[in-house]
């Protein structure tokens, strides 16, 4: 008798770069929640590289959790340098998943991460000004990937999405309009999205006990995002009973 079980057939390590050549789109929040997703849901060794030179939000957030003696399920390195590819290579043997928080108007660092990347996630809110930065961010990545010896999957994740539900469907005009714009431009957009939920903002900005421990306890919508992200890597194995 055999049973089918699902496992993840991941590159070692799986390198995920989160980027948009604009700050404030939720890169650091997404990096922390997705790092917690891989650590909690798949029990993988996860490294987050805070490579944003304009805002070391990730470092500050991580430091606050450490000082509060919160058990953090991933490691963080602050490395806002054009040599971020070297940082990825130097740590590759010690981690199953490496998540790079890049962009923030620093095209050089963002582009330096691309040749080592397996999954490029372009983040944007429903703000038209942020959505319009997606094409330029994509072009920068395309230029950087020209000499890469790997296939890089590119997907857009919509963040800070307003929610107006009707019959189980988000009918927010802002969301539907900007999503349609991205899809019409042939971008692959995550079916999942991240809402403008106060919980996420508190996780990044609040003191421990007021939401800052949230990434370690409640993945929220990032569980669906994570499941969707790893779906192409799921392998079904037949196990004899």
CB contact at 8 A, 16 and 116 = no
32-47 pLDDT per residue, tens: 999 999 999 999 999 9
Least confident of 71-80, 132-141, 206-215, 227-236: 206-215
Q: Which of 203, 163, 234, 197 is nearest to 35 (CA)?
A: 203
Give percent of the chain above pLDDT 90: 61
Nearby residues of 166 by Cβ (< 8 Å), 6 or more positions away: none
Q: What is the pTM of this model?
A: 0.91
Domains of the chain plus CATH, in order, are: 12-160+189-226 (3.40.50.300)
106-147 pLDDT per residue, tens: 799 999 999 999 999 999 999 999 999 999 999 999 999 997
**Phi, psi (degrees; rounded to nearest 5) at 205:** -105, -20
Strand partners, 50: 78, 101
């Amino acid at each position: 008798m055999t049973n089918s079980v699902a496992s993840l057939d991941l590159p070692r390590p799986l390198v995920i770069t989160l980027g948009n050549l604009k700050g404030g789109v939720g890169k650091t929040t997404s990096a922390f929640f997705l790092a917690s997703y891989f650590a909690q849901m798949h029990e993988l060794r996860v490294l987050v590289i805070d490579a944003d030179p304009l805002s070391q939000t990730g470092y500050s957030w991580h430091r606050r959790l450490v000082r509060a003696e919160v058990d953090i399920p991933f490691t963080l390195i602050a490395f806002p340098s054009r040599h971020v590819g070297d940082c990825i290579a130097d740590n590759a043997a010690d981690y199953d998943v490496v998540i790079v928080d890049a962009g923030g108007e620093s095209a050089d660092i963002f582009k330096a991460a691309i040749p080592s990347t397996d999954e490029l996630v372009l983040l944007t809110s429903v703000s038209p000004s942020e959505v319009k930065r997606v094409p330029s961010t994509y072009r920068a990545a395309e230029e950087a990937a020209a000499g890469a010896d790997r296939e890089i999957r590119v997907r857009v994740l919509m963040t800070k999405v307003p929610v107006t539900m009707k019959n189980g469907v988000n009918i927010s005009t802002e969301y539907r309009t900007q999503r349609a714009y991205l899809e019409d431009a042939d971008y692959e957009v995550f079916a999942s999205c991240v809402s403008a939920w106060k919980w996420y903002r508190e996780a990044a900005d609040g003191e421990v006990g007021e939401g800052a421990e949230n990434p370690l306890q409640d993945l929220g919508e990032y569980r669906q995002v994570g499941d969707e992200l790893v779906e192409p890597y799921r392998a079904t194995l037949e196990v004899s009973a």
